[in-house]
Each structure stands twice: as C-alpha cells, then as structure tokens.
Amino acid sequence: MFEFTITQESPKIKIGGGLYDVVIIGGGAAGLTTAIYTSRDGLKTLVLEREATGGLAATTELIENYPGFPDGINGAELLERFRKQAERFGAEIVEFDEVVKVNPLEKGKIEVHTQSGQVYTGKTVVIATGSRPKKLNVPGEKEFAGRGVSYCATCDGPFFKDKNVVIIGAGNSGLQEGLQVLEYAKHVTFLEFLPYTRAEHILQERVKRHPKSTLLFNQQVTAIVGDKTVTGVRAVDRETKEEHLYPADGVFIYVGYSPYSQFVADIVETNKWGYIITDEKMRTKVPGLYAIGDVRADNPAQLSVSVGDGAKAALALRDFILEL
C-alpha cells in the first residue's frame, strides 16, 4: 500500500519491501541526476552500473563547458559529486553488475535481471546506459588492444610519456583527449577520415597551435601494425591515394560511439543506429520505461543535456507513480 504525505514541495511516497519505485540502469551523469531527483523526492531508488559510476564523463580530464565551473573541473571529481548527492538522499547504488534483461510484467511492475543472477523489480525503470566507443575493425586493432591500442586517453595517456602517439579521429572526443595525451607524448599525430573536423573551434585552435601536434585530414586507416606492441599505423590519403606508415608507440581511437541498448532492443523502439526513441518526457513505448542520456535518440552527447534528460525523466516518472 502507498502512504502519501503531501507537502508544498513534493509528494513523499514510502514503500516497504523489495519493490523499488525507480530502478535506474546506468550510473553516469544522466542516471545519477535522476537518482538525485527521485531519492530526494522520497522515492525508493536503485542505481545499477555495469562498471564504476561516472560513465564516459568521468574519464574526461577537464570539463570546461559545464555551467558553474568557470575554470573547468575534472570529470571524475564532478561525477563523484553527483554520486555523493544521490547517496545523501538515500539512493542505493550497485556497481559492477551488468543488466542483461528487462522484463515488463504489467503496468507498474518491471523486472530487471543482472549478470550476477539478481532480479530487481521497479514500478519504473530508467535506461541510462550511455554509449561505448566504436571500433575501427581494421587489422591489428583487436590484436594490439591493451598493447598500444586504447580508447581512453585519460586512462592510458601517461603510459606514453616521451613517445609517439597517433589519435584516430579528430572530432570533439579525439581532440579533447588528444590534448590530454600531448601533456605526456613526444608527438601526437591526429588522423581524420573526413576533409574537415566537426570539433569545437576552441579545441581545433588548441591542437593547431600546439608545437607537438600534427593534424591530417582525408586519412583512411587501413591497419595498425606492430610486433609485441604497436609500432605504427597505416593509412591511405583519400585524395592522393598514397599510403603512409605513421610510427607510433600508442594508438587512441575516437571514431564515434554506439549506444548500449542491445539488452532492450526487443521491447523498445530504436532508430537505425540503435539509439532508443522516446517522447519529450523521456518515455519509451513501454509504460513506466524511460530512456535518457547518450543512449537516447536525438541526444547530442553533451553532459548538460544528459543532466536535463535525467531531470525530465524524474518528473515524468513521479507523475506515473502517483497515477498508479
């Protein structure tokens, strides 16, 4: 039974037993924002994260475009603040247990199954699983993963102090992470498939002005080569058709992201890239099931937008619970 306590701020809903008001799948910026709102609202909230909380934002060395931090802030520090705020209001957080299945039983009751065999039940479920780096799928990429090939410059950049590094991809992620690597590396070569970069102007200028960087366009990477570890990257100039071998001790790949949505692909609508389609209130076609952040279609993969998604979902699911 529900027990409602109406205040001027918001209704408080107290529920005993093992049934959660909100189960949030994903502990990045979007998921933690929802947890802050819902737990503060008195809703029994659980956050499930397949790795450590924080998501991709936590791997960014410096976030400069999030409001309230004029000098920027380290991504891990910012997301740790998100977590502490959610826990302060009573949100439960379970890390390192991946969700493998979501099973809607009836309106107001959705099961969430994890890899460890746990089954959690929520009146509402929020998918905030984000996205993961795309693979190039070229020879050498898989073979040298962890032996010179990486997808996280913030994590692995310090290993390449005074060494030559190639960054594949010159979008926002590639240039942002490349600037981090430039603090350690002897030289960084950026290889971009397109004849231009879509990165923010300020990032372009920083890379172009850096004395240890080279930015090349129209480069189609054909292979990552090496022996026991990476020694270079082969690429063809799409304009001249010439092949080049760029010496490298490390390779960081930033060629886009794909959504982490396969575990719900059979119950929600997705676009052709696998991003989950929602309405303006973050609702999927399944009653009580929401999607927010980078896993959602039409989300531009910006931290502040993901935070907004989380707040919208929290407000919408509160109304849904009140109507049950």
Q: Residue by residue, what is the 3-state secondary structure of the chain?
A: CCEEECCCCCCEEECCCCEEEEEEECCCHHHHHHHHHHHHCCCCEEEEECCCCCCHHHHCCCECCCCCCCCCECHHHHHHHHHHHHHHCCCEEEECCCEEEEEEEECCEEEEEECCCCEEEEEEEEECCCEEECCCCCCCCCCCECCCEECCHHHHHHHHCCCEEEEECCCHHHHHHHHHHCCCCCEEEEECCCCCCCCCHHHHHHHHHCCCEEEECCEEEEEEEECCCEEEEEEEECCCCCEEEEECCEEEECCCEEECCHHHCCCCCECCCCCECCCCCCECCCCCEEECHHHECCCCCCHHHHHHHHHHHHHHHHHHHHHC
71 a catalytic residue: no
CA 287-291-297 angle, 5° bins: 120
Structure tokens belonging to residue 237: 């100039």
Residue of 156, 249, 294, 309 marked active site = 156
Cα distance from N-terminal residue to C-terminal residue, the chain: 11
Residue type, 30: A
Residue of 21, 41, 71, 155 marked active site = 155
294 a catalytic residue: no
156 a catalytic residue: yes
Distance CA 246, CA 233 (A): 5
Structure tokens belonging to residue 311: 């707040």
Q: How far is CA 76 from the centre of its chain?
A: 13
Positions marked catalytic:
152, 155-156
